[in-house]
Amino acid sequence: MNPQINKVTNDIQKTKEKIVELQALLPELERKKVDLENTEIVRLVRKASVEPKELAGFLESIKPPRQTTQENPEITAKD
């Protein structure tokens, strides 16, 4: 077989293996990101010395109003 075809075929196989490896790694990286974001949020809240009730009230006050869907006005749209 042509050496160039062999090289490209090998590159394709290596690329497919790398894709599988990265797809397996991605969920773990996303979980770590969420964990780090959560840790940062907790750090900021503690630094601000905010009571849980105050924080809950603040978060509720900045929450956008829920909108209803056009198909069924009784069902509210979710983020």
Residue range 1-24: average pLDDT? 96
What pLDDT score was predicted for residue 79? 46
What pLDDT score was predicted for residue 71? 65
Question: For 20-57, how does the pLDDT look when each residue is reduced to its tens digit (9 = 90+)?
Answer: 999 999 999 999 999 999 999 989 988 998 888 998 99
* Nearest Cα residue to 36 out of 44, 25, 48, 26: 44
Contact 16, 23 (CB under 8 A): no
Task: State which amino acid sits at residue 8.
Answer: V
The CA angle 32-79-43, to the nearest 5 degrees, is: 40
Q: Is residue 13 predicted with pLDDT exceeding 70?
A: yes
Domain locations in the chain as residue ranges:
24-48
What pLDDT score was predicted for residue 70? 67
Question: How many other CB atoms sit within 10 Å of the CB of residue 45?
Answer: 14
